Amino acid sequence: MTDPAVTLRLKDVSKTFGIVNVVDSISFDVKAGESVGLVGPNGAGKTTLFNCVCGQLQNDHGAVYFEDQPLNGMPTYRRARLGIGRTYQRTEVFPDMTVRNHLLVAERVHSGTGRLWKDLLNMSKPTKEEIEVSDRVMDLVGLMELADTPVAALGLGHCRLVELARALAGEPTLLLADEPSSGLDERETAAMSAVLRTVQRERGTAILLVEHDLEMVSEVVDRVVVMDLGSKVAEGTFDEVMANPAVRYAYLGESA
């Protein structure tokens, strides 16, 4: 990979479990500052591909590149420190910690400073720089007014924003967002969409979004990659892929 305009490149990435090709020779790029949607029916292999990008799984074949650097074999924490942030479909937060403390811990994990157990027990005082970083991120996602609120007191919509803010605390170049609208109502989904657009436009963050809500996808992304049964079946603008007979068949069982 030698194109500086490309943040993420997947080249013939494959992952097999037993005899099943869960991800089968997937190739596509995410350009710098671009938002790309990764969509497809359940079981298409989207989350497995995500895990190959962030390092929770190692792909069996092919290669993953991030800003000209091959990632194959690299552990998750090193990929994160290169500039890859991630949210998860299942919300994972510490209920007794405040919104701000979630971000302080995330920033320290990313930078490799401090000790996690001290952070979780509120035993290490944040620096001025750490507070400034957390304030910037909370302002970006609309959580400033809830900075000192324990997460246990928040609804799911705000918890999703806390997770997003935590992923952004290290100021990643690439954000992997895995089903960020899962469990959210229409209003909360609209708010999440607005935040993702802001992150892309104001920070220039490249985004790879896995999402079942196609209306949200249409509002957030510049381009769409469609997977079905482990393979890529279409790539293009949202309108182009939704008009593709292979995509209609994957989602609806409709033939051309």
The CA–CA distances, whole Å, from 20 to 14, 23, 44, 111, 197 equal: 11, 9, 12, 38, 36
67 with 102, same domain: the answer is no
Domain boundary pick from 116, 147, 168: 168
131 with 248, same domain: the answer is no
* Domain of 40, in residue numbers: 1-83+172-256
Per-residue pLDDT of the chain in tens (256 residues, 90 and over written 9):
556 699 999 999 999 999 899 999 999 999 999 999 999 988 899 999 999 999 999 999 999 999 989 999 999 989 988 999 998 877 777 788 899 988 888 877 766 655 554 555 554 677 888 888 889 999 988 899 999 999 889 998 899 899 999 889 888 999 999 999 988 899 999 999 999 999 999 889 999 999 989 999 999 999 999 999 999 999 999 999 999 988 888 876 665 4
Q: What b-and-e string marks burial along 40-72, b requiring 16 or more CB atoms within 10 Å of the CB?
A: bbeebbbbbbbbbbbbebebeebebbbbeeebe
pLDDT at residue 122, rounded to an integer: 54
> How many independent structural domains does the chain possess?
2
69 with 177, same domain: the answer is yes
* 26: nearest Cα among 48, 5, 41, 57: 48
The whole-model pTM stands at 0.88
Which CATH number is 53's domain given?
3.40.50.300
Domain boundary pick from 168, 189, 214: 168
